[in-house]
Amino acid sequence: MANTAEQLAPAAALDCAAARKPMRADARRNYDKLLAAARAEFASRGVGASLEEIARRAEVGVGTLYRHFPTRQALLEAVYVEEVMALCRSAEDFAAASPWGALTDWLSRFVDYVATKRALAEEMMTTMSKDAPVFRTCHDAIFATGEPLLARAKSEGVVRDDVEFLDVIQLVSGITMVRNATPEQMKRVLAVALDGLRYGVDAG
């Protein structure tokens, strides 16, 4: 069986080419500052946050923002992709954990991600379909990260054999759809749901 680091390698390699294209050092700094500022503004003011305010928060001119992101949609996509790739890279944090711990801890982060980024995705889908390349790239990155974690847990006998990663994603995504749930309640519901992945592993 491949070791944990090898199984996590596909996710670690999945950076978005558009977000990681070669840049001069100063341009890269400005790009990263704009992404950080956009994430913060979208979190505090919603996806309709002013681009001018994002530029001010990043301490760059509006012209610099538009050189990197010619449209609001381009900025939304860049933030969305960067957040997905950060989620995928975070699987490396659990390389030393048990198979069950690595899977459930990463899925907990996945729930946090979905709960906070739904508005961003919904705004993007006002101008593109769910089958757009950016969504497909992010979907593939999430599966490339999560499937090895699930496979490792199954190979160690701590998750039932008939579970597929798509089942798991649909399960935990459904939890994020619960209206008015507090983060604490969502975590409790997630723990109960994930216990179902182990039901019957000792049967027979």
Q: Where are the alpha helices (DSSP H) in 90-181?
A: 99-124, 133-155, 165-175
Q: Which amino acid is at 124?
A: M
CA atoms within 13 A on the CB side of 69: 26
Q: What is the pLDDT of residues 111-160, one digit of tens each?
A: 888 877 878 888 888 888 888 999 999 999 999 999 999 999 999 999 99
Q: What is the pTM (predicted TM-score) of this model?
A: 0.80
Domains of the chain by residue range: 4-198
* Per-residue pLDDT, 1: 36
Burial class (CB in 10 A: 0-12, 13-18, 19+), 113: middle
**Do the Cβ atoms of 4 and 152 come closer than 8 Å?**
yes
Secondary element (H or E) of residue 57: helix 51-58
Q: What is the pLDDT of residues 61-118, one digit of tens each?
A: 999 999 999 999 999 999 999 999 999 999 999 989 999 999 999 999 998 888 778 7
Rounded distance between C-alpha atoms, residue 83 and residue 119, angstroms: 13
Tokens representing residue 112 in the block: 């946090």
CA atoms within 13 A on the CB side of 72: 14
| Cα three-residue angle 161-101-115, rounded to 5 degrees | 95
| Across 157-164, average pLDDT | 94
Q: Does position 59 have pLDDT exceeding 70, yes or no?
A: yes
Q: How many CB atoms lie within 10 A of CB 65?
A: 23
**Do the Cβ atoms of 75 and 51 come closer than 8 Å?**
yes
Looking at CATH, the fold of the domain delimited by 4-198 is given as Tetracycline Repressor; domain 2 (1.10.357)
Q: What is the pLDDT of residues 167-186, one digit of tens each?
A: 999 998 888 887 777 878 88
